[in-house]
A and B are shown apart, each in its own frame.
Chain A
Amino acid sequence: MRRIVLVIVVIAIAIAVYEAARHSSHAKGHPGAVDSPAPQFSLQDLDGKALSLANYQGKVVLLNFWATWCTPCRGEIPQFIEFQNTYGPQGLQLIGISMDDDAKPVHEFYQQFKMDYPVAIGNANLAESYGGVLGLPVTFLIGRDGRIAAKYVGATDMTALQQKIQSLLQAR
């Protein structure tokens, strides 16, 4: 019996070490990692205006990679619009980066959902600069200091996200 327990403990330790190593690949130093400086970008938004991350220096930025064909992404948009309205005056800025291949459905969605924050069509280079966007949705929170404060892969826990936004907005 003792031997079995020992084997289980060894397996558990091996799994823990493997997981730790796996997660460390997203640690400091890797593009798009939490605590690293948010990669700069300049794009054109859907209205043809310049959209540059540098323009939002000193603000808390919620950068959302999404697409019209992504059901979980679509479900998040109304909440993001609400965040922009609620926390915009305190310094929150939302930016949507669409990963659609075609801009037409993005324009339609933008108007239909009355999105009130800038949206641009993304590209592979931008996605790679943020560590790769290989599945949607992916959301980054960037602090007032320009560093990535949090990364959410998959459908976001809105309560946790809201708490993080509030905490970042309080930091001056």
Chain B
Amino acid sequence: MPKSLVSLLIVLLSVLFATAQTKSSSAPSDLPPGSTSLIDPEDLLSELQSQQGEKPLVFNVGPSILYMQAHIPGSEYVGATSDKQGLERLRTRVKTLPRNQPIVVYCGCCPWSHCPNVRPAYNELQRMGFTNLRVLYLADNFGVDWVDKGYPTTKGQ
């Protein structure tokens, strides 16, 4: 293999590794880095658009004013789970669901490491025994990581 090709591969692998590290290090501490607890936007979109398999229930656990402007079609508004009322709404909504129900929660109100909503929602659902639970990884916010990519949205409450 030519030396220049080897160098190129090393550079490419380094970039991929650095990207993976950035994502892992910015994950909330209670969402294990690189774990299956996180789902990327393109993967969720693919699941939602797939004709096969059970689709997850998608819960928005962010502020209503953001949800009203744009949200993932079919996602249910729960409200900000950084406060007690939001967490109570979440508990009420999922109370009767089977514990293996596929669930994705998302917010995207602000950069991932600063989001006050996804961690409480994730922790609460995990505490309640949900085993098929994931959090949508939105690095910057819903606008940048979903809307600007041209992924489908709808608006209104």
- Assess whether B8 is interfacial by the CB under 8 Å rule: yes
Q: How far is the CB of A39 from chain B (nearest CB, A)?
A: 14
Q: B110: which A residues are within 8 A, CB to CB?
A: 70-73, 135-137
Whether B65 lies near A136 (C-beta < 8 A) is no
- Assess whether B76 is interfacial by the CB under 8 Å rule: no
- Assess whether B101 is interfacial by the CB under 8 Å rule: no
- The distance in angstroms between the C-alpha atoms of A137 and B140, with both chains bound, is 11
Indicate with 1 or 0, residue by residue over A66-77, a CB within 8 angstroms of chain B CB atoms.
010111110000
Q: What's the tally of chain A residues with a CB closer than 8 Å to chain B?
A: 28
Binding site for A on B (CB under 8 A): 2, 4-5, 8, 63-66, 68-70, 79-80, 82, 108-111, 114, 116, 140-144, 147-148, 155
- The distance in angstroms between the C-alpha atoms of A71 and B112, with both chains bound, is 11
Which residues, 1 to 51 on A, are CB-close (under 8 Å) to B?
A: 1, 4, 8, 22, 25
Whether A101 lies near B5 (C-beta < 8 A) is no
Whether A124 lies near B63 (C-beta < 8 A) is no
Indicate with 1 or 0, residue by residue over A133-163, a CB within 8 angstroms of chain B CB atoms.
1111100000000000000011100000000
Q: Which 6 A-B pairs have the closest CB atoms?
A: A135-B141, A134-B143, A124-B68, A71-B114, A135-B143, A134-B142
